[in-house]
């Protein structure tokens, strides 16, 4: 996995001042989740997928040493800049620490931020367009609608949501995202105003 830039949480302002950034391409920032690390499977899969498309600047916002502490608002205090042609793909706790951008896709945002105000968690106003994949909403992931579009694969109201073939349903969110990125138009969902209408 080459051609991406890793920025530590206190270096976020360097994103526009480094030679890797091509202003004519969209920029993707991946913000890993709780206990995430730069060579972890979610990070490797998402960054590799974007790099394989060859049309994105890709940056990993590494907050590995602080992720275990889950400090609300931490990234907001460091990232007071806006990148007009950027999107962010935060995963789990990283999904709740995003700054306002063009687009944010939350990959199973953590349940621990559900009661926080919108400024301290992922919300429909975190970017111009916010989409969320909720793969573990009754266990570790949020049960709240957090985006303009929320996708709930294999959802059920009561009990844990079990993603077929997964020990941890939480991991399915980033795998669905990578599949959709690499194979556009192959993952389908149906619209429903409420789960009971869809069921």
We report the CATH number of the domain holding residue 134 as 3.40.50.1820
State the residue range of the domain holding 153. Answer: 5-198
Residue 64 phi, psi (nearest 5): -50, -45
pTM: 0.76
pLDDT in tens, 152-199: 888 776 666 777 777 778 788 889 999 999 999 998 877 766 656 655
**Number of domains present in the structure of the chain:** 1
Q: Cα(first)–Cα(last) distance of the chain, in Å?
A: 41
What digits encode the pLDDT tens for the residues 102-138?
888 888 888 877 888 887 788 898 888 899 999 888 7
Residues 80 and 194: their CA atoms lie apart, in Å, by 36
| Under 8 Å between Cβ of 137 and 161 | yes
In eight-state DSSP terms, residue 65 is H
Which pair of tokens denotes residue 121?
């968690």
Q: Measured between alpha carbons, how far is 3 from 1 in angstroms, rounded to an integer?
A: 7
Residue 86: CB atoms within 10 A of its CB come to: 21
Q: What is the pLDDT of residue 29?
A: 79
User: Are 87 and 103 in contact, with CB atoms under 8 Å apart?
Assistant: yes
Check residue 82 and give its pLDDT.
37
Cα–Cα distance, 52 to 110 (Å, whole number): 28
Q: Is the dihedral of CA 174, 176, 181, 183 positive or negative?
A: positive
């Amino acid at each position: 996995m080459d051609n991406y830039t890793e920025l530590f949480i206190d270096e976020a302002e360097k994103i526009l001042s480094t030679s890797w950034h091509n202003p004519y391409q969209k920029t993707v920032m991946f913000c890993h989740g709780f206990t995430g690390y730069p060579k972890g499977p979610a990070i490797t899969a998402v960054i590799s997928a974007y790099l394989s498309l060859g049309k994105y600047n890709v940056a990993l916002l590494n907050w590995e040493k602080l992720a275990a502490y889950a400090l609300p608002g931490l990234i907001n205090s460091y990232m007071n800049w806006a990148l007009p042609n950027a999107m962010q793909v935060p995963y789990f706790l990283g999904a709740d620490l995003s700054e306002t951008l063009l687009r944010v896709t939350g990959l199973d945002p953590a349940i621990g931020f559900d009661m926080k105000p919108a400024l301290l968690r992922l919300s429909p106003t975190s970017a111009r367009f916010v989409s969320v994949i909720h793969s573990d909403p009754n266990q570790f992931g949020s049960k709240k609608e957090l985006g303009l579009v929320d996708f709930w694969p294999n959802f059920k109201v009561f009990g844990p949501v079990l993603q077929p073939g997964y020990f941890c349903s939480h991991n399915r969110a980033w795998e669905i995202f990578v599949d959709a990125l690499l194979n556009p138009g192959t993952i389908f969902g149906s619209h429903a105003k409420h789960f009971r209408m869809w069921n």
